Structures are given as structure tokens and as C-alpha cells.
């Protein structure tokens, strides 16, 4: 038996209370890890952005479109190696209304050259380019929907309404070269969209233009030069390197991210209070025992060690349970669900081991600090006072 | 060992150590402040306890018996006066030095046993040794010996709740002697026990005194308990009578 062994024994003394407290800590740690994972998943998109890509969009908002001929102007600008464009289609499978996936109308010749982190093999690409109604879909989406090459797919669009559904033929799938790429996107011919729209205002319009530049370090400057081209035209543009583009999306959800940050701190604070209360309760019940220990020669520091050790032990157990539980929940359940169903927002929803480690260490540290006040109070009690408490 | 032998031995011991004083209390005053009033519990008290003595402290409730015992054991400090134990002025020691001194010098026996419920008998007895440099194996061996002395070698792994009151108090006594302290202080050690268990505990204390030469100061209300002691002192009105 050691001094810390005694601390551990005290934790297990009241089994119900110990279990509830450990569970409380575990749930806090779990929630903290989940929140950090959400924040991490959203920021990952910005972090993994391809650095030599510049996105040009409507100056006001990326919901508004640009004239198709702007693409040629961009292509002719200096430092631009290649350019393509795409439109949000807002497609949905009428038979599976609840399935959400991104649908893009892109230029069949250049889309996969510029977005080369979406990997398509040569035959698939050729099949796609030769079929005006062809579509290439992410492997994750294809698997989930059970689509195979040659399958006919009907989609309805929330943006490009038309009588009856849009009809596509699956040419094949793309895979991702990095984990930040959404593997649930549906890509088809822009020309098919453009030929099919009936409303004149929607004709010959593109959602955004993406170009690859010859010098990634100059991406920001090149973007400014591009925007100058359209300064005097009827629609002004905003060009950003992809990282900033993603960040501007992040900025639009930054209030949520901040809320998540605050919530995760609040959760930890609640956890510390919960732990502190449990420890204080136990310490109060054991005042006489600490009096006895002091009487037989234990010093203030020993008493602090007992109580802090006890609390740290609870933090350790709770932290361990919380972190261990978060892995199956995220990796098996939630993460897979979000990647498959909300891939556009969470292309990569996995636990950051650092966040898990951080939560665990934090649980330990909070365990230690939560006990600080009861530990100091108990240690400063004079032994005869402590002994008199029950008598 | 026969009763006659025991007596003979005691005489020999008390003669040999007649001159050696273990505890020396001089002019000790202890006052408490209570609701603006000063309560003078001990009033210029003098006391000498010889090494190897078994002293009983009696007196009416509230006369300050526990107060005096706590002062001798270094649990409390006098308002005035000096307390010397084994040649050391303990009224001058700092908080932490005093705690260490208690651990080295005093064995405590309380009225309500005060064992830690989460620890077995053996672990409770090992507790004081955790503060020493004694190795783990040796700690256990010594604690086992102490429990054998109090007659509980067959209860090593019992928890306090699995023991009778008398057995609990014997474990507490084992805890008090495991460090081989110079002085055992006991505040009404039989107060919570039935007659039979009380007899057992008193016999044990007597044996520790006579066979192992332990100095014992015991506070008690029980005349039968006081009878076991070699000296009985009475405390009243802040003075020893
Ligand atoms: N911390 C304290 N504050 C105020 N008064 C105290 C304190 N401790 C003891 N007293 C008072 O000092 C007096 C002596 O108390 P003490 O406990 O020494 O008596 P006692 O002789 O041991 O009595 P008993 O036989 O009932 O145990 C009592 O009147 C008690 O109320
Ligand atoms: Mg008393």
C-alpha cells in the first residue's frame, strides 16, 4: 500500500458516486472531443486547400453567377496555366429526398484537369466526355446510392427547375488524392445544364471560375490582377486563392465555431465544478480521518497529495473512458455518417489524436485543480479540530 | 509468565529507570476564547512522567484531561509554560516539525478507534511506517508483528467493519506501537467498549507497559481502568490534585 494507493481506495469507496462522477467526466471529455472534431473538420478544408488554385466568383456573394465569357478572359490573363468553371446545381434524387450530396455542373474538358485532386482514370474520363449526359460521382456516394457505370440517374434541381427531372448516365467514379476532398460529389456536363435551362437569365452563366497559376506564392496578387480585368464590366469579381476562399466560407460559420469553442470551455468548467463538488463532499465526510493522519505524523503536503491524487484519479478514469468512447462513436458511427451524408461540410470527420490527447490531459489537470480548494482546506485544519468534528 | 514474575520485573524496571523523566510539564496554562470569555482550562500545571510509567488521568468531565493529553502529545500548544518530552521542548516546534515529531515519538489510541475504513487491519497498521524509510517488505513484517502482539494475527486482511469494537481498538493499538514510539497516549480507550473488550484492551496496554516497557498516559473515567495503571492522577479546576 502506498500513499497514492490510499487515494485510489478513497475514490472507490462510494461506488455509485464514483461511477457517476467518472461518467460525468467521461461525457464532458467525449463532448469536448466531438466539438473539437467538428471545428477541426471545418478548418481542415482550409488547411488542405490546393495552393496554386485561384477561385474567381461574384464580388457580392458566391451565390450569384458570372457570365460564361469571363472564363476566356481569365484564361488569357498572365500567369494562368489553366482555368475551368462550375455551377452549383442543387440536385437531389427525388426517390431519396433526405440524401444530401453536392452536385456540380462543370466543364467536361477541363474540370478534372484543374481539380486534379479528384482522381479519375482515363477510360472513365473518356466515357464521360463522350456522353453529353454523363456524370462522374465520388466513390463514397456511388457506393451509398448503389450506382454503377451505365446506370441512369434522375435528379431534380432546386436552382434549375424544369419540367420533369434531369436525366444522367453514370460514367464512373472519382477517388480522392487527399483526405480533405469530398468523395460524395456528383459532377456532370455544364453544357447539358446550359442547354437545358429555359430561363434566359440563367443561360451562359457560371458559378465560379477556378484557375491554376504558375506561381502559388503569387496567388493573391494574381487574384487582384484578375479582378482588375472586370472592374469596368457589368459584374465585378472577387478572386481568392483557394485557402482564402475556404476561409471565407469558414468565416460565414465562424460564429458557430466560436460558439463551439465557448461551449467546449463551458463543458470543461462544468466538469471541474462537478468533480470539485464530489471531492469536497468526500473530504468533508472524511475530516476525522485526515485528523487521524495528521495526528500520527502526516504533513499538510501529504493530505493535499491524498486529495489531489484522489481527484486526479477520477479525472484519469473519466478521461480514459471519454477518449476511448469517442473513437468508436466518431470512427464507426458519427464520422462515417457525416462523411457520407454531409461530405460537402465534413469531407473528413475524424478524431484529431492531438485533440483527444489534449482532452485527456485537460481532464487530468482539471481533476487536480478541482481538488485544490478542498485539499487546502483539509490540509490546513488543525488535527485536534479535525478529530473533534465527530466527537 | 506468572503474576509474581511480572510484578518482580516491574519493580526491577521502575527502580532502574527511577531517575529518568520522559515528560516534563512546567507552569502550563491553556485558555480558550469562547464568546468573548476566556476559559482557563489549565492553570499553571506541573507534571512529571517517568519513563516506563503507566499513568491514568482522571477527573470530572470538562476538567481538561483531553486538553492536557493533547498538549503532551504535541497535538496542541500551551498558552503559556513549557512541555519537554524526551529532552525536547515541543512547545517550541513548528507545525511541520511537530507533525514529524509526533510520527516518530507518539502512539495514539483514540476513544473511537479511528481506523481508516478503506484499509485492512494490516494496512491500517502499516500507515505510520509510510512516513519512514522502511522498505515495503519490512513494513509489512513489522505491521504483522504488531498485530501478533495485540493477538490479531488471524485478522490481517479484515476491514474495520468486519471487526468487533474490541478488535478495532486492538488494531488501533497495533498502529500506535508499530513505530516503536517512546510514548503511547490513550484518550478513553475503553470508552466505546463493552466490559469484556475493555478488559482485553486494558490487559493489552498493561502488557505493553510491563513487557515492552512502553510509557503510557491514559485518560479515563473508569475506575477499573485506572486500577491497571501504576499511577493515577486527578485533574480538577485546572490543577493536578
Ligand atoms: N477548541 C476549544 N474551544 C473552546 N473550548 C474548548 C475547546 N476544547 C476544549 N474546550 C473546553 O475546555 C474544557 C476542557 O475540555 P477537555 O476536552 O479537555 O475536557 P475533558 O476533561 O477531556 O472532558 P471529558 O471527560 O468530557 O472528555 C471544556 O470546558 C471544553 O468545553
Ligand atoms: Mg476528553
Please write the tens of the pLDDT for every residue from A244-266.
766 666 666 677 778 888 888 88
Instruction: Determine which helix (DSSP H) or strand (DSSP E) holds A46, and give its type and residue range.
Output: helix A15-47
| Predicted confidence (pLDDT) at residue A188 exceeds the cutoff of 60 | yes
Q: What is the pLDDT of residue B1?
A: 45
- Mean pLDDT calculated for residue range A160-169: 87
State pLDDT tens for residues B67-109: 999 999 999 999 999 999 999 999 999 989 999 999 999 999 9
Ligand 2 centroid – CA A84 distance (Å)? 93
Name chain B contacts of A9, Cβ cutoff 8 Å: 118-119
- Asked if B35 is an interface residue toward chain A (Cβ–Cβ < 8 A), one would say no
**Closest atom of ligand 1 to CA, residue A385:** 1
Residue B125 or residue A182, greater confidence: B125
What is d(CA A81, CA A213) in angstroms, rounded to the nearest whole number? 6
Q: Are A384 and B131 within 8 A, CB to CB?
A: no
Q: In a mutagenesis test of the B interface, which of A13, A292, A313 is the best target, namely the one with the most B β-carbons within 10 Å?
A: A292
ipTM of the complex: 0.88
Interface test with A, best of B77, B118, B120 (most A CBs within 10 A): B118
As a whole number of angstroms, the distance between CA A69 and CA B26 comes to 108
Specify the pLDDT at position B14: 47
Mean pLDDT of chain A: 86
How many angstroms is it from B65 CA to the middle of ligand 2?
6
Average pLDDT over residues A292-306: 92
Atom 7 of ligand 1 has which residue's CA nearest to it?
A: B32
Q: How far apart (Å, rounded) are the C-alpha atoms in residues A356 and A336?
A: 18
Does the Cβ of B60 fall within 6 Å of ligand 1? Answer: no
Instruction: Please report the atom of ligand 1 found closest to the CA of residue B64.
Output: 18
Query: Which residues from chain B sit within 8 angstroms of residue A10, using beta carbons?
Result: 118
Counting runs of H as helices and runs of E as strands, what totals does chain A give? 16, 13
Q: Is A350 a residue whose pLDDT tops 80?
A: no
> Rounded to the nearest 5°, which phi and psi values hold at B121?
-55, -50
**Confidence (pTM):** 0.69
- Out of A13, A288, A298, the one facing B114 most closely (by C-beta) is A288
Which one is predicted more confidently, A216 or A144? Answer: A144
Q: What is the pLDDT of residue A256?
A: 79
Q: What is the pLDDT along chain B (241 residues), one digit of tens a residue?
A: 444 444 444 444 444 445 589 999 999 999 999 888 999 999 999 999 999 999 999 999 999 999 999 999 999 999 999 999 999 999 999 989 999 999 999 999 999 999 999 999 999 999 999 999 999 999 999 999 999 999 999 999 999 999 999 999 999 999 999 999 999 999 999 999 999 999 999 999 999 999 999 999 999 999 999 999 999 999 998 889 8
User: Could you tell me the distance, in angstroms and rounded to a whole number, from the CA of residue B41 to the centre of ligand 1?
Assistant: 8
Q: How far is the CA of A126 from the centre of ligand 1 (A)?
A: 99
Q: Does B117 touch chain A (CB under 8 A)?
A: yes
CB of B75 within 8 Å of any CB in chain A? yes
Smallest Cα distance from B18 to chain A, Å = 29
In short, whether B65's Cβ falls inside 6 Å of ligand 1 is yes
Nearest residue (by CA) to ligand 1, atom 27, is B61
Residue A36's pLDDT is 82
For ligand 1, mutation pick of B57, B65, B233 (most atoms within 8 Å of CB): B65
Share above pLDDT 90 across residues of chain B, in percent, rounded to a whole number: 87
Q: Which residues on B lie below 8 Å from A391 (Cβ)?
A: 111-112
The three-state DSSP-derived secondary structure of chain B is CCHHHHHHHHHHHHHHCCCCEEEEEEEEEEEEEECCEEEEEEEEEEEEEECCCEEEEECCCCCCHHHHHHHHCCCCCCCEEEEEECCEEHHHCCHHHHHHHHHHHEEEECCCCCCCCCCCHHHHHHHHHHHCCCCHHHHHHHHHHHHHHCCCHHHCCCCHHHCCHHHHHHHHHHHHHCCCCCEEEEECCCCCCCHHHHHHHHHHHHHHHHHHCCEEEEECCCHHHHHHCCEEEEEECCEEC
Contact A348, A44 (CB under 8 A): yes
Instruction: Among B37, B63, B185, say which to mutate for ligand 1: greatest number of ligand atoms within 8 Å of CB.
Output: B63
Distance in Å, CA A383 to ligand 1 centroid: 15
In this predicted model, what pLDDT tens digit does every residue of A30-49 receive, in sequence order? 888 888 887 777 776 666 66
- For a mutational test of ligand 1's pocket, the pick from B32, B36, B225, B240, i.e. the residue with the most ligand atoms closer than 8 A to its C-beta, is B32
- What structural domains and CATH numbers belong to chain B? 50-78+92-234 (3.40.50.300)
Amino acid at each position: 500500500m502506498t500513499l497514492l494507493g490510499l487515494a485510489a481506495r478513497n475514490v472507490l469507496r462510494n461506488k455509485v458516486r464514483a461511477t457517476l462522477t467518472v461518467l460525468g467526466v467521461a461525457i464532458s471529455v467525449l463532448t469536448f472531443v466531438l466539438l473539437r472534431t467538428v471545428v477541426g473538420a471545418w478548418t481542415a478544408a482550409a488547411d488542405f486547400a490546393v495552393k496554386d488554385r485561384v477561385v474567381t466568383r461574384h464580388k457580392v456573394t458566391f451565390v450569384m453567377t458570372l457570365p460564361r465569357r469571363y472564363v476566356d478572359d481569365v484564361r488569357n490573363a498572365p500567369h494562368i496555366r489553366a482555368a475551368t468553371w462550375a455551377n452549383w446545381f442543387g440536385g437531389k434524387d427525388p426517390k431519396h429526398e433526405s440524401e444530401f450530396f453536392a452536385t456540380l455542373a462543370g466543364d467536361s474538358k477541363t474540370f478534372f484537369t484543374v481539380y486534379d485532386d479528384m482522381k479519375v482514370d482515363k477510360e472513365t474520363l473518356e466515357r464521360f466526355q463522350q456522353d453529353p449526359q454523363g456524370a462522374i460521382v465520388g466513390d463514397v456516394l456511388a457506393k451509398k446510392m448503389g450506382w454503377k457505370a451505365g446506370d441512369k440517374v434522375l435528379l431534380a434541381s432546386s436552382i434549375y427547375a424544369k419540367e420533369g427531372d434531369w436525366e444522367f448516365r453514370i460514367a464512373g467514379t472519382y477517388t480522392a488524392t487527399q483526405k480533405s476532398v469530398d468523395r460524395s460529389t456528383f459532377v456532370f456536363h455544364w453544357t447539358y445544364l446550359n442547354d437545358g435551362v429555359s430561363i434566359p437569365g440563367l443561360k451562359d452563366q457560371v458559378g465560379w471560375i477556378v484557375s491554376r497559376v504558375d506561381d502559388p506564392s503569387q496567388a493573391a496578387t494574381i487574384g487582384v490582377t484578375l479582378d482588375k480585368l472586370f472592374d469596368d464590366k457589368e459584374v465585378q469579381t472577387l478572386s481568392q486563392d483557394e485557402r482564402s476562399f475556404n476561409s471565407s466560407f469558414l468565416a460565414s460559420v465562424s460564429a458557430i465555431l466560436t460558439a463551439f469553442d465557448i461551449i467546449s470551455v463551458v463543458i470543461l468548467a462544468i466538469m471541474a465544478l462537478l468533480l470539485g463538488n464530489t471531492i469536497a463532499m468526500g473530504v468533508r465526510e472524511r475530516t476525522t480521518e485526515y485528523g487521524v493522519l495528521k495526528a500520527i505524523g502526516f504533513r499538510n503536503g501529504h493530505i493535499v497529495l491524498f486529495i489531489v491524487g484522489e481527484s486526479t484519479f477520477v479525472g484519469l478514469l473519466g478521461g480514459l473512458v471519454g477518449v476511448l468512447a469517442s473513437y468508436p462513436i466518431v470512427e464507426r458511427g458519427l464520422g462515417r455518417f457525416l462523411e457520407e451524408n454531409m461530405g460537402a461540410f465534413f469531407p473528413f470527420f475524424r478524431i484529431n489524436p492531438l485533440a483527444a490527447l489534449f482532452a485527456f490531459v485537460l481532464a487530468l489537470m482539471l481533476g487536480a485543480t478541482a481538488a485544490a480548494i478542498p485539499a487546502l482546506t483539509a490540509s490546513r485544519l488543525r488535527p485536534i479540530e479535525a478529530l473533534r468534528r465527530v466527537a | 509468565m506468572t503474576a509474581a514474575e511480572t510484578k518482580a520485573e516491574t519493580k526491577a524496571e521502575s527502580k532502574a529507570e527511577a531517575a529518568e523523566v520522559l515528560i516534563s510539564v512546567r507552569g502550563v496554562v491553556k485558555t480558550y476564547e469562547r464568546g468573548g470569555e476566556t476559559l482557563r482550562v489549565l492553570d499553571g500545571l506541573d507534571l512529571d512522567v517517568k519513563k516506563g510509567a503507566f499513568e491514568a488521568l482522571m477527573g470530572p468531565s470538562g476538567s481538561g484531561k483531553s486538553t492536557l493529553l493533547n498538549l503532551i502529545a504535541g497535538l496542541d500548544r500551551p498558552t503559556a509554560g513549557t512541555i519537554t518530552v524526551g529532552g525536547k521542548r515541543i512547545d517550541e516546534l513548528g507545525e511541520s516539525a511537530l507533525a514529524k515529531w509526533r510520527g516518530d515519538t507518539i502512539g495514539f489510541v483514540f476513544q473511537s478507534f479511528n481506523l481508516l475504513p478503506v484499509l485492512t487491519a494490516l494496512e491500517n497498521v502499516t500507515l505510520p511506517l509510510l512516513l519512514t524509510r522502511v522498505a515495503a517488505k519490512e513494513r509489512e513484517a513489522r505491521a504483522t508483528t504488531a498485530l501478533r502482539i495485540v493477538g490479531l494475527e488471524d485478522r490481517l486482511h479484515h476491514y474495520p467493519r468486519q471487526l468487533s469494537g474490541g478488535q478495532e481498538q486492538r488494531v488501533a493499538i497495533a498502529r500506535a506501537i508499530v513505530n516503536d514510539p517512546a510514548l503511547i497516549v490513550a484518550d478513553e480507550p475503553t470508552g466505546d467498549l463493552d466490559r469484556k473488550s475493555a478488559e482485553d484492551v486494558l490487559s493489552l496496554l498493561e502488557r505493553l507497559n510491563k513487557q515492552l516497557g512502553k510509557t503510557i498516559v491514559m485518560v479515563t473515567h473508569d475506575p477499573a481502568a485506572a486500577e491497571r495503571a501504576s499511577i493515577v492522577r486527578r485533574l480538577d479546576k485546572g490543577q493536578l490534585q
